[in-house]
Amino acid sequence: MELVDRSDRSRASRVRGRRRSRVLSRYAGRPVRLIWRYVARHKVAHVIMLVSVVAAVGFALASQYGIRNLIDALPQGRAHPQTVEYAFAVLVGLIFADNLMWRVAGWVAARAFVRVTGDIRQDMFEYLTGHAPSFFADKQPGVLSSRVSATANAVYIIENTVAWTAFPPTLTVIGAIVMVATVSVPMSVALVAVSAALSACLFWLARKGTSRHEAFASQAASVDGELVDVIGNMGLVRAFSAVNAEQRRFDGHLEAEAVARKRSLLYLEKLRLLHAFATVVLSAGVLGWTVWLWTQGRASTGDVVLVGSLGFSILHGSRDVAVAFVDLTQHVARLAEASQTLLTPYSMPEPPKAIPLAVREATVDFDNVSFAYPGRRPVLNELTLHIQAGERVGLVGPSGAGKSTVLALLQHFYEPATGCVRISGQDISQVTLESLQAAISVVPQDVTLLHRSLLDNIRYGCPDASEADVRRACEDASCMDFIGALPDGLNAIAGDRGAKLSGGQRQRIAIARAILKDSPILLLDEATSALDTASEIVIQAALERLMQNRTVIAIAHRLSTLQSFDRIIVMNRGRVVQEGTPAQLAQVPGIYRDTLARHGRRTPAPTLN
């Protein structure tokens, strides 16, 4: 049969996904550029918000000037009340405009910031799911999931900090210095010089503390990873009476995180202390300078009040800027660390010119394939194997012979060191991953189910299937008996990784899932290993129906499950050492016959160790 993409929309989506993945990898460890990428998607909203903030700060500063005019108008107020009334009206109008602009900025930001964080979560998840299985084998699920949330949360906090804590006081300080110039230009110039020197010093010191913030981010992610790992394996923990040991281990991780957090926060406090001392001295000097100008008759009473008010604005504004800046360094460092982990370039990227796999005849070929897992000896050594369309082939051999690796390479979980794997004559490394996955159904030994309904789990590979189709697949897989006994039937929740079902029940669900998917190639990895004898007889009949008109590759330690197969391939040390029909191999000296002989009979279900 020929597999084609479901629609032009699906093809376009894959193209956009590949392009987005290539672009995203360039932002690993570049937090500022990463933030700008998502802010730029909502430029209009951010511009409106920033203009509103600028206007709000401008009106707030103008209010200080309005207070000065009101104070200067009061001495002549009784003789000229209209002057006081005008100054009062202007001040009230400025205060109203100030508050209105803040509300506009907040209203727009509430939408823009949420959209930005949503875009980041979506893109990070899509990029993460594009990694090869080897990437996930080296990382804890909790660490990866926490980093997806960490990137979005860090960007959200950074945007909020810039918009409400850093940008407004920066404008306030700049505006206040400009207004001080109306009283004394030399005073304004001195403020600019001192502020610039203080900012440069804080920037330099903040950069020196980046390593402390990154260490804290890494420890926090490690704690999340340990937590998910233990909770996900709580059955194992209790089975080995390791609850107390895991609690002590987790306490150690918490202690390490606390130490890293403390080092990060104390460094920030040192910067805040330095800034507080500098701003107190600066404000006192500015106010003293203004009082001296007043004694010389070069400043009015209103000017003293204005500069005093502006001095406090500069004090509080510059303090807020410093606090925001040092906080930003911590969140930017956490964003950089999380993005560096998530946006690691793909080890097996889909080729830009990948084409859909067209399965006319479901043949499978391994052409001189060699493969080794990182840091280990070769598992496959120049393996050459041809499987005809519709042929049923069983893989047997001792542990470590390379059987599971054959199935993994066929699904393109890894790239061979040499040689290539072909389906229907096409090199699978040059086809789209979606079309390859559509061509293969798998019934694994360790069946994993999602924490969703049985209905969703069974039609996971065929989401458009009707409930009637699902029920037929369940009947063929002989699992309607236990599903019907559940209070919610097909709507029953499977539990975390299928924890609410027995091993045999999970395998029958996996068989139903494969029946419904209806792919031309079927991989069976110990598909009946968790079944008792009675259940195995029932499932063998279901598998027989499933295997009709399909190319089947099965790994089995129970040799009885392979007696109806067309060919048995015996592997050892990554090579094919024997092959033939079950009857032929039973007569030939070798691993297969030796296993039969150890159990004292030719055709039962021995186990290869």
What distance, in Å, lies between the first and last C-alpha atoms of the chain?
Answer: 38
Q: Where are the alpha helices (DSSP H) in 387-499?
A: 403-410, 433-438, 454-458, 467-476, 480-485
186 and 245 in contact (C-beta within 8 Å)? no
Question: What number does CATH give the domain 19-342?
Answer: 1.20.1560.10
Q: Where are the beta strands (DSSP E) in 497-592?
A: 521-525, 551-555, 567-572, 575-580
Between CA 500 and CA 188 the distance in angstroms is: 72
The pLDDT confidence band at residue 607, using thresholds 50, 70 and 90, is: very low
Report the candidate in 271, 311, 274, 269 with the shortest Cα–Cα distance to residue 290: 311
Look at the alpha carbons of 272, 278, 280, 282 in this order and tell me if their dihedral is positive or negative: negative
Mean pLDDT of the chain: 79
Between CA 144 and CA 341 the distance in angstroms is: 8
Take residue 407 and report the two structure tokens written for it: 């199935």
Q: Which residue has the higher pLDDT, 601 or 313?
A: 313
Report the candidate in 116, 120, 157 with the shortest Cα–Cα distance to residue 327: 157
pLDDT score recorded for residue 211: 67
572 and 401 in contact (C-beta within 8 Å)? yes
Longest dimension (CA), the chain: 125
How is the chain split into domains, by residue range? 19-342
Check pLDDT > 60 for residue 169: yes
Q: Is 524 helix (H, G, I), strand (E, B) or coil?
A: strand
pLDDT tens-digit readout, 390-409: 999 999 888 888 888 999 99
Check pLDDT > 90 for residue 364: yes
DSSP 8-class letter at 519? -
Between CA 571 and CA 379 the distance in angstroms is: 11
Q: Where are the alpha helices (DSSP H) in 299-358?
A: 301-342
pLDDT score recorded for residue 609: 40
Between CA 214 and CA 263 the distance in angstroms is: 11
> At 255, which amino acid appears?
E
The pLDDT confidence band at residue 27, using thresholds 50, 70 and 90, is: confident
pLDDT score recorded for residue 8: 47
Between CA 593 and CA 586 the distance in angstroms is: 5
Check pLDDT > 60 for residue 62: yes
pLDDT score recorded for residue 518: 85
For residues 425-446, give the mean pLDDT: 88
Between CA 407 and CA 441 the distance in angstroms is: 11
Q: Which are the contacts of 133, defined by CB distance < 8 A and separation ≥ 6?
A: 408, 413, 414
pLDDT tens-digit readout, 479-503: 888 888 888 888 888 887 777 887 7
Between CA 470 and CA 452 the distance in angstroms is: 15
Q: Which are the contacts of 218, defined by CB distance < 8 A and separation ≥ 6?
A: 260, 337
Between CA 358 and CA 430 the distance in angstroms is: 12
CA angle (525, 529, 530) in 5-degree steps: 125
568 backbone dihedrals φ, ψ, rounded to 5°? -115, 130
pLDDT score recorded for residue 391: 92
Cα distances (Å, whole numbers) of residue 229 to 150, 224, 232, 277, 334? 18, 9, 5, 46, 22
Between CA 354 and CA 157 the distance in angstroms is: 39
